Structure 1
């Protein structure tokens, strides 16, 4: 498998603006590196889906930078093979305290657990599912808040687009017994199964579509996706959520907030919204 590596060198003060422009392509996160002997500069790198075209991505980002009136020192996009890709980003993924006393530890990193915290170990070839992203953390926070008022022995927690299964593993640590993850990508479903087994968590993992392949309903549903799939899935999710259940959604970037909001308010009541960086996470209930 190949990936497209896109790197931009810019002024450090422009980091937030530039990373926001990156977000459409940055499903696997963004790496920030210092530039030796140039403390005012920073290198930002992402790895984009290989089905895209490197030159098209570069041209698109250059256009966005011009429109945003942001000057950068350099921008580069090229193809990497899988082994180079893995070595490129894995070294930057560190253990993350996703909730108080609960740490997500990448399988390839060491962690000195001197404080005897709960460890969830994730092995993955996609960095988005390692707990370091703002949307993963805020989903976990809201999951903790709204699960506390539920009978955890009877609750079904459904994670749509489960990826590495990280939110299911957090749900298990919170005491939820019945866990279901679904993902349309076979490699993601397989990775979620492996991570659940490695953490001795029993969960049903489905490779398929929400509408046709998940039967029944859930009291807690998680959908940490992006705007485009959320537009499609929000009406379907309503059929899968019990009447008094809670839906937690994320993956909504500042630039597309106004675009997705009508899709939310048409079918859902917003209970709570949390913002982390440029990302928005909602707790919703059916109207």
Structure 2
């Protein structure tokens, strides 16, 4: 299965509205850029008429240009290698490809090679999640990483001292990629598993949950996450905009999760909740 990338050129004040609307028609990954944003969806789920309907609905509010292309597994790797630059998060975490040299003076060094997987640390949500992880004690914990992408958050958890990490994603190449990246970073305590929330049935509780997905999936699956979290243990959410935080908070409260704090960057949010 390949992805479709829809590249939208639009003013910043209209971009957030379009991202929310495209999320309602199946797009689940977004990347901001200087001209607007890119939205991603698996090719079988792509409906060009639904995209055009969204664009037409808001065309009167400002100029909107859009185009789409299919990104195959092969050209995604080439595209990423061509454009990827090493990244430093919170002055403590290096995120780089295997072909980049290891920087000096970092507390943590994560090596990532995505294969049709999202989550290199360059997107605001991934960086925000890592910044929140750095504030929490992971030592000896059993941790769940839902929507693991490249496995970057699972690897961060392992490097922070987690005893065991289960990384779960619905895309076959993503689970495979997370496993490869875990091995590249010497994290034998990470298990990458294919599937969604259903593969958590029968699992023992987790000491911490990381869920960087998107608003709709978080709202739908939050009850399942809450059932796997002991009292007083944290759950980190990301993949949504600041205006969606009240919805996330309301649903969290329904499942016995209490808001603690959140970080924002370019209107993206990563929030920490704890189980009551």
TM-score by length of 2: 0.83
Match of 1:144 among 134, 142, 146: 134
The 10-residue stretch of structure 1 (245-254 or 45-54) with the greater mean CA deviation from structure 2: 45-54
The CA distance in 2 between the partners of 1:205 and 1:2, in whole Å, is 20
Structure 1 residue 18 corresponds to structure 2 residue 20: no
Aligned to 1:282: 271
User: Are 1:181 and 1:206, in contact at CA under 8 Å, matched by a contact in 2?
Assistant: yes
Looking at CA atoms only, which structure, 1 or 2, has the larger radius of gyration? 1
Q: Deviations over 1:50-77 (max 9, x none)?
A: 123352254134235326x1223x3223
Q: Deviations over 1:142-197 (max 9, x none)?
A: 112121xx6x13x2122122221111111122222322222233322211111111
Question: 1:81-96 alignment to 2 at 5 Å?
Answer: 81-96=72-87
Structure 2's unaligned 5+ residue stretches are: none
Structure 1 residue 205 corresponds to structure 2 residue 192: yes
Structure 1 residue 5 corresponds to structure 2 residue 5: yes
Counterpart of 1:242 in 2: which secondary structure? coil
Higher strand share: 1
Aligned to 2:237: 249
Distance 1:56 1:261, change over 3 A: farther
The CA distance in 2 between the partners of 1:191 and 1:223, in whole Å, is 18
Instruction: Give the length in aligned residue pairs.
Output: 268
Structure 1 residue 130 corresponds to structure 2 residue 120: yes
Q: Post-superposition shift, 1:284?
A: 0.8
Counterpart of 2:88 in 1: which secondary structure? strand
Distance 1:49 1:179, change over 3 A: same
The CA distance in 1 between the partners of 2:223 and 2:216, in whole Å, is 13
Distance 1:78 1:197, change over 3 A: closer
Distance 1:205 1:22, change over 3 A: same
TM-score by length of 1: 0.80
Structure 1's unaligned 5+ residue stretches are: 33-41
The CA distance in 2 between the partners of 1:167 and 1:194, in whole Å, is 14
The CA distance in 2 between the partners of 1:47 and 1:63, in whole Å, is 19
The CA distance in 2 between the partners of 1:255 and 1:89, in whole Å, is 30
Q: Post-superposition shift, 1:79?
A: 3.8
Taking only aligned residues, the RMSD between alpha carbons, in angstroms, comes to: 2.8
Aligned to 2:146: 160
